[in-house]
Chain A
Amino acid sequence: MNCELARKNTTLFLYGELSIEEEQTFQDHIEACADCSAAFEAEKRLHTALDQRQVDVDPALLVRCRRDLSQRLESVRPRSGLLDWLARLSDLRIAALAKPAAALALVAVGFFGARLTTPRQPITSARDVAALSSADPSVMRVRYLEPSASGRVQLVVEETRQRTLSGSVNDDQIRRLLLAAARESTDPGLRAESMDMLRSQHASGELRPVLVYALEHDPNPGVRLKALDALKAYGREADVRAALTQVLLTDDNPGVRTQAIDLLVEDKDDSTAGVLQQVVQKDNNSYVRLRCQKALEEMNASVGTF
Chain B
Amino acid sequence: MNRPSPIDADEAALIRAAQKGDQDAFERLVHAYDRGVLQIAMNLLRSPEDAYDVYQEAFLRVFKSLHQFRLDSSFSTWLYRIVTNLCLDQMRKRKTRREESSVVDTEDGPRDRMDTVAEGREQGDPQRSLMNRQLSLRIEQGLGDLTAKERMVFEMRHYQGMRLRAIGDVLGTSEEAAKMCLFRATQKMRAALGDFV
Complex contacts, A42 vs chain B, CB 8 Å: 190, 197
- Asked if residues A58 and B48 are in contact (CB atoms below 8 Å), the reply is yes
Complex contacts, B182 vs chain A, CB 8 Å: 11, 15
Q: In residues 217-265 of chain A, which contact B (Cβ within 8 Å)?
A: 219-220, 250-255
Complex contacts, A54 vs chain B, CB 8 Å: 117-120, 136
The proximity string for B residues 141-168 relative to A, scoring 1 for CB distances below 8 Å and 0 otherwise, is 0000000000000000111010110000
- Asked if residues B52 and A64 are in contact (CB atoms below 8 Å), the reply is yes
Q: In residues 47-67 of chain A, which contact B (Cβ within 8 Å)?
A: 47-50, 52-58, 60-62, 64-66
Is there a chain B Cβ closer than 8 Å to A17's Cβ?
yes
Residue on B nearest A45 in the bound complex, by CB: B197
Is there a chain A Cβ closer than 8 Å to B179's Cβ?
yes
In the assembled complex, the Cα of A48 lies from the Cα of B196 at a distance in Å of 11
- Asked if residues B179 and A12 are in contact (CB atoms below 8 Å), the reply is yes
How many A-B residue pairs lie within 8 Å, measured between CB atoms? 115
In the assembled complex, the Cα of A61 lies from the Cα of B56 at a distance in Å of 12
The proximity string for B residues 91-135 relative to A, scoring 1 for CB distances below 8 Å and 0 otherwise, is 000000000000000010000000001111000000000001001
Residue on A nearest B175 in the bound complex, by CB: A17
- Asked if residues B197 and A11 are in contact (CB atoms below 8 Å), the reply is no
Is there a chain B Cβ closer than 8 Å to A205's Cβ?
no
Interchain CB contact (< 8 A) of A73 among B63, B132, B189: B63
- Asked if residues B179 and A69 are in contact (CB atoms below 8 Å), the reply is no
Complex contacts, A48 vs chain B, CB 8 Å: 197
Residue on A nearest B60 in the bound complex, by CB: A72
In the assembled complex, the Cα of A250 lies from the Cα of B107 at a distance in Å of 40
Output the least CB separation between A290 and chain B (Å): 16
The proximity string for B residues 17-34 relative to A, scoring 1 for CB distances below 8 Å and 0 otherwise, is 000010100111011101
- Asked if residues B35 and A69 are in contact (CB atoms below 8 Å), the reply is no
Q: How large is the interface on A (under 10, 10 to 19, 20 to 34, 35 or more residues)?
A: 35 or more
Residue on A nearest B3 in the bound complex, by CB: A252
A57-B35, A57-B39, A219-B32 known; A50-B52 Cβ under 8 A: no
Is there a chain A Cβ closer than 8 Å to B90's Cβ?
no
A49-B139, A54-B118, A284-B1 known; A15-B31 Cβ under 8 A: no
Is there a chain A Cβ closer than 8 Å to B51's Cβ?
yes
Output the least CB separation between A55 and chain B (Å): 5
In the assembled complex, the Cα of A105 lies from the Cα of B39 at a distance in Å of 51
Is there a chain B Cβ closer than 8 Å to A98's Cβ?
no
A78-B21, A220-B35 known; A69-B197 Cβ under 8 A: no
Is there a chain A Cβ closer than 8 Å to B75's Cβ?
no
Chain B residues close to A by CB (< 8 Å): 1-3, 21, 23, 26-28, 30-32, 34-35, 38-39, 42-43, 48, 51-52, 55-56, 59-60, 63-64, 107, 117-120, 132, 135-136, 139-140, 157-159, 161, 163-164, 179, 182-183, 186, 189-190, 193, 196-197
- Known A-B contacts: A46-B193, A55-B39, A66-B31. Give 17 more (CB < 8 A): A11-B182, A12-B179, A15-B182, A17-B164, A46-B190, A54-B118, A56-B39, A58-B48, A61-B38, A62-B38, A70-B27, A72-B60, A186-B31, A220-B35, A251-B1, A253-B161, A283-B1
Chain A residues close to B by CB (< 8 Å): 8, 11-12, 15, 17, 42-43, 45-50, 52-58, 60-62, 64-66, 68-70, 72-73, 76-78, 80, 186-188, 219-220, 250-255, 283-284
